[in-house]
Amino acid sequence: MIEQRIRHDWTVDEAMALFEQPLNDLLFAAQSIHREYHAPNAVQISTLLSIKTGGCPEDCKYCPQSIHYDTGLDTHNLLPVEDVVKAAERAHAAGATRFCMGAAWRSPTNSQTRRVCELVRAVKDLEMETCVTLGMLTEDQAQALAEAGLDYYNHNLDTSPDYYGEVITTRTYQDRLDTLAHVRDAGMKVCCGGIVGMGESRRDRAGLLVQLAGLPEHPESVPINNLVQAEGTPMHGSEALPPLETVRCIAVARILMPRSVIRLSAGRTDLSEEAQALCFLAGAGSIFCGDRLLTTPNPSFESDMAMFGQLGIAPQAP
């Protein structure tokens, strides 16, 4: 029975044993599961827009948008609806099926939430899926976003509970779990993943994936971000993760959460096309397309389409 594979009780030792298999065995297992649940040669495309940039009070050591670090970022307040709609129209024309809007807030106020609800309604009118990431939400704010028609809320666990204190001190792991519960209770889809390459151990990477798989429901979308090293942040200059470790991480995520769409998220500018091809073989089913993530560069749309052409991958139809 396939459904026996949907487990929420994975242990870190089990995930570590998967990580430590010979790469061929791990990829074979991951790709076999991928084909049972997902189209093998289709990849969903999302596009990001930073709707409020910089000036964030949180101290996430990887983030160029934190006020704690001098990163020379151009900051701006919440964008007007017309600018957001124009960006969404461009993304739609380029083939993106989901438009993701990110704001550098610890948590939005109710009036900021109402303004984001307006943005959600405007983007939904273009027949695109919507996702936003605004920081911590109350139950009522989650409900308001759901009522505006928001499809996905992105809120990452970022790393394992053990490594978390090395990365952020201004909000707790439990704060994150509480926001995820509010999003679920409001009936929205959950986009939740983390970052690798922050100096954590393989056991921490396994610990993050076990936490994600241990949520009451697996997130529909699981972004695996490679740290984008931003100058001025404490994590700038960290040792880069070997690309095959990212591949392993995607494969283990695929095995632990068979129904979820695993996104090969930030950090693709540092991955060769060959490494990305292995990530797709490992079960990645989504990427961000467009020249920019939130504040940092991403491969061009044209180069991504050329890569898809070489691999025989089709952007997933809406």
Active-site residue 117, yes or no? no
Given 108, 207, 219, 223, the residue binding ligand DTB (CB under 6 A): 223
In DSSP terms, 99 is beta-bridged to: 47, 130
Smallest Cα–Cα separation from 290: which of 102, 28, 74?
102
188 binds ligand DTB (CB under 6 A): no
* Residue 134 within binding range of ligand SF4, rule CB under 6 A: no
The residue among 92 and 176 lying less far from ligand SF4, judged by its C-beta, is 176
Q: What is the 8-class DSSP label of residue 42?
A: E
Q: Quote helix, strand, coil % in the chain, to nearest 5.
A: 40, 15, 40
From the list 98, 176, 191, 248, the catalytic residue is: 191
Decide if 47 contacts 99 (C-beta within 8 A): yes
User: Residues 98, 117, 131, 248: which is the catalytic one?
Assistant: 131
Is residue 289 flagged as an active site residue? no
CA–CA dist 290, 299 (Å, integer): 7
Least distance from C-beta 109 to ligand DTB, angstroms? 20
Taking CB under 6 A as the criterion, the residue among 46, 66, 130, 295 binding ligand SF4 is 66
Between residues 105 and 308, which has the closer beta carbon with respect to ligand SAM? 105
User: Which three-class secondary structure string do you get for 51-120?
Assistant: EEECCECCCCCCCCCECCCCCCCCCECCCCHHHHHHHHHHHHHHCCCEEEEEECCCCCCHHHHHHHHHHH
Q: Let me know if 63 is a catalytic residue.
A: yes
| CA 146 vs CA 136, 152, 289: distances in Å | 15, 9, 25
Task: Name the nearest CA neighbour of 149 among 202, 94, 187, 175.
Answer: 187
295 binds, among ligand DTB, ligand SF4, ligand SAM, none (CB under 5 to 8 A by kind): ligand DTB
- Stretch binding ligand DTB (CB under 6 A), from 4-12, 30-38, 236-244, 291-299: 291-299
Complex with ligand DTB: residue 113 or 225, whichever CB lies closer: 225
Indicate whether 286 belongs to the interface with ligand SF4 (CB under 6 A).
Answer: no
- Phi and psi, residue 263, nearest 5°: -100, 125
Give residues in contact with ligand SF4 (CB under 6 A): 56, 58, 60, 63, 65-66, 104, 106, 135
Give residues in contact with ligand DTB (CB under 6 A): 48, 64, 100, 102, 133, 154, 156, 193, 223, 225, 228, 265-266, 293-296
Q: Which residues are catalytic?
A: 56, 60, 63, 100, 131, 191, 263
